[in-house]
Structure 1
Amino acid sequence: MDWLWWIGGAFALGILEMLSLDLVLIMLAGGAVAGGIASAAGAPVWLQFLIAALTAVVLLATLRPWLLRRLKKRVPLEETNAAALVGKDAVVVSTVTLEGGRVKLNGEVWSARTSTADALLPGAQVRVDRIEGATAVVAPAAG
C-alpha cells in the first residue's frame, strides 16, 4: 500500500503543475509514478527513492527541453485589438489631413490623420501605418 503515497504525491504534483505551467513539477510527478511502480514491485524504500530521483532527473534533462522547444514554435502569436489593424486597408469617409479626418476601417468609422502632408479625399484607399489611441494614422495605399 506504500505505492498509494507515491501516486498521491504524483497527483498533487500534477495539480500544482497546472498552476505553474513550468513543466518541472510534472517531471517530478513522473519520478513519483516511477517510485510508486518500484514500491508496487516490492523494492526497498531506498531503491524507490533512488528510482524516483533518477527518473525525475532524466525527465528534466531530456523530456522537458524537448517539450519547451515544441511549445515555443507551435503557434505564432497573433496580434489582437488595435494592433491587429496595422497594415489593413481602409477607405476615407471624410477628408483626412495631418489634423484629422475619418476612415472606414474593419467595418467601423475611425478618427484618422495622415502620416504625409497630402490630404486624402473621400473614397481614397489608404493603409493603416499605426494606431495612436483612438486615431488611425494612415497613408495612401500602394497600387
Structure 2
Amino acid sequence: MSSVDFWVGWLIAAGGFAIVLVLTAMPELGMLAAGAVAGALTAGVTDSLVAQVVVFAVVSTALILVVQPLARRARSGSPALSSGVDALIGRSAVVLVRVTGSGGRIRLAGEEWSARSLGEDDIYEPGSHVSVVEIDGATAVVM
C-alpha cells in the first residue's frame, strides 16, 4: 500500500468514528476520529505505518485523558441559575417594620416585602439584617 492509500484509509476511519459518534453520542469516538486525522496527516509526511499508528494512539489517548476530566467537571460543576423568587432565597434583607412569627416588613432586593420569622418566637427589630430562607406566596420567611 502506498502512503496515499494509508492517508485515505485514515480519513475513512476518521469518518467512521465520526458517524458512530453522531449515532451513539459517545465523545470518545470524536477523540478517536481526531487521532485518525492525525494519522492521516502523518501518512502524508511518512510511509511508516508504525509512526502513523503511534501518532494515532498518542493523539487519541492524550485527548481522552485531557478532555474527559474537563467535560466531567463542566457537567457537574456549574449550579443551575435561579430566577424569580427562587433567586431571592439566601439573600440579605433589612427589617423595616418589626418582624415576628406572625408578620412584619422587610426591604429585599430594593422592594418592600411582607415577612415573618422562621421561628415563632424570633423577633427582628427595624434596621436588623436578616436572611431569606423561603418565599411563602408573597411573604418572605426570614431568620
Q: Please state which band the TM-score falls in when normalised by the shorter chain.
A: 0.5 to 0.7
Unaligned runs of 5+ in 1: none
Q: 1:66 and 1:97, CA in 2 relative to 1: closer, same or farther beyond 3 A?
A: closer
> Which of 5, 8, 11 is equivalent to 1:6?
11
The whole-number CA distance in structure 2 between the counterparts of 1:65 and 1:47 is 25
Kindly indicate whether the alpha-carbon contact (under 8 Å) linking 1:23 and 1:64 is maintained by their aligned counterparts in 2. Answer: no
Whether contact under 8 Å (2:92, 2:132) holds in the other structure is no
- How far off is 1:114 after superposition? 0.5
Does structure 2 retain, via aligned residues, the 8 Å contact 1:89–1:125?
no
**Maintained 8 Å contact 2:89/2:135:** no
Post-superposition, which runs of at least 4 consecutive aligned residues in structure 1 deviate over 4 A?
Answer: 1-5, 44-51, 75-79
Aligned-pair CA distance for 1:42: 5.1
Is the 8 Å Cα contact of residues 87 and 128 (structure 1) preserved in structure 2?
A: yes
SS at structure 2 position matched to 1:98: coil
- Report the structure, 1 or 2, having the larger helix content: 2
> Which residue of structure 2 aligns with residue 28 of structure 1?
32
Structure 2 alignment gaps of length 5 or more: none
Q: Paired residue for 2:134?
A: 131
Q: Which residue of 2 aligns with 1:41?
A: 45
CA distance in 2, matches of 1:133, 1:125: 21
| 1:92 counterpart (88, 92, 95) | 95
User: Do the aligned partners of residues 54 and 91 (structure 1) sit closer, same or farther apart at CA in structure 2, a change above 3 Å counting?
Assistant: closer
Q: Percent of aligned pairs with the same residue? A: 33
TM-score (norm 2): 0.56
Give TM-score scaled by structure 1 length. 0.56
| Contact kept? 1:87, 1:127, Cα under 8 Å | no
